[in-house]
Amino acid sequence: MDAQATSVLNRIIRRIPNKNIENLLKKWNSLSADQLRALDYTRPKWMIVEHVLSFCEENRLNLKHITNLEMIYHIENPDQGTWHACQFAEAQDDAVCVELTQFKEQFKAHLHGVIRHISIKMKKHEDEAIWIRIAWGDNFSKPNHLKPTYVVHHLHTSYVFISNLMAKHKIFLCQALVIATKHGSIKDGHLSTRSLTAMRDLLLRRYQQAFPNAHSRIPQERNTLSSHPCIGKEHSDHEEMRHQMSCEAFGHSPSPKLETAVYRLETRYRGNGNHTLSDREEFFRGVVRFSSSSLLDSLRHCVASGMAEGPVTPLLSAITQRGRNYFVITDKGPGVSSQASAQRA
């Protein structure tokens, strides 16, 4: 096994806590049962790494097997690194008929055509997600397996999730994706998170949304303690209305676990107090950043408890409605950036 394979393996094993290594190696299915039994996971990491390396040498495993292991690791633990969302536009008429094999072939063919040395691996997961691992080289050097790009796409949806892509490779990847999925163009989704699960839940609508309905009202999550028959709520209808409003804007719990929302301001100062600030012609530039362990839950609670006044401002409800967490607010008037007309598919 060459140096690159060794360092990749090293990195994987060092990253996982010892108790999870066994499961990962079993899923990998490249070591024999005896070898797996022989490994002692209570030893220090460097010892485990050495043992696994020696087994790999024994089984004559090569870089391909190691990159397979890395991919399995990432599929099992998707919430690492920073993921960015991109969205396709201008679907061609037969975009709906694109099949998996077709997509794979076209994607690989395009990238192999433009870059001489590149290593692409694709796997389809049970939940219909296609995982792609790309190690980039160029016309002179071999692919660099220490900095692979990961791409996740669900066929027939218009979203792609990308992690660890360098600026110089962006154009090649975008071209390949657009051609393979039969769309006209791809643009930045303005959504980045550390958790791929949260990003997928938000964009693929895997959370429960609330809609006004003539027939049913949303059941409230109440503490049974507070529904004592002798306790009457004075403003129960206001409370229900606020609860309804907050659920419509941010969804029911559990919501996708977004962590931040960033608003970049390029507006003029409008307050009456400080004249020096409001007289300036140039923009008042600032950045407002909301952080939370679960941003949507916090915002929902703010609105439901009355801390934030209703109706919910479109600046906040745009997080779920438009599926983004980076906004640029310009001075054209109330509302979100000039991309306000772009609808979320």
Partner 1 sequence: MDGQVETVEQGVLGHLMALERRGMGQQDQHESQRLEMLKVRAVALRAQRDQLKHQADAVKILKDKISKDLPLDDADAAGGFIELQKSLLTAWRMQLKDLQRAHHLIGGYDLVECKEGKSVCVSFHTAFEGVYLETYNMELDLTRTVQISRHNIPPSFPLESIAKQILQKDLKGFLQTLSQKLNALAGRRQQVYLLKELVGSVEVMESNQLCNILVLMCTAQGETPKAVLCTLEYGDLTQCLPTRVSIECEDKTLSESPQWKKHQSLLLESPAHTALLTMRRMGSIA
Which residues are near partner 1 by CB under 8 A?
91, 95-97, 99-100, 128, 154-159, 203-205, 209, 211-215, 320-321, 343-345
How much of the chain is helix, strand and coil, in % rounded to 5?
A: 45, 20, 40
- Please, are residues 134 and 108 in contact by the beta-carbon 8 Å criterion? no
CA-to-CA separations, 20 to 15, 16, 24, in angstroms, rounded: 10, 6, 6
Residues 6+ positions from 100 with CB-CB distance below 8 Å:
124, 130, 155
CB of 189 to partner 1, least distance (A): 13
Q: Which is nearer to partner 1, 193 or 244 (CB)?
A: 244
State the nearest-atom distance from the C-beta of 25 to partner 1, in Å: 29
R_g over Cα of the chain: 25
Closest approach of Cβ 340 to partner 1, in Å? 11
DSSP 166: -
The phi, psi pair for 281, rounded to 5°, reads: -85, -30
Closest approach of partner 1 to the CB of residue 19, in Å: 35
How near is the Cβ of 205 to partner 1 at its closest, in Å? 5
Considering beta carbons, is residue 59 or 209 the nearer one to partner 1?
209
Nearer to partner 1, 10 or 157 (CB): 157
Phi, psi of 314, rounded to the nearest 5 degrees: -60, -20
- State the nearest-atom distance from the C-beta of 108 to partner 1, in Å: 20
Positive/negative CA dihedral, 295, 296, 301, 304:
positive
Q: How far is the CB of 158 from partner 1 (least distance, A)?
A: 7
Three-state DSSP class for residue 220: coil
CB of 100 to partner 1, least distance (A): 8
Whichever of 67 and 181 has its CB closer to partner 1, that residue is: 181
* CA dist., res. 119 & res. 160, Å (int): 19
For tokens 């066929």, the residue is 155
What is d(CA 110, CA 171) in angstroms, rounded to the nearest whole number? Answer: 12
| Strand stretches in 155-303, DSSP E | 159-163, 183-193, 260-267, 284-291
Residues in the chain, how many? 345
Which CB, 31 or 247, lies closer to partner 1?
247
The residue (of 104 and 205) whose beta carbon lies closer to partner 1 is 205
Largest CA distance in the chain: 80
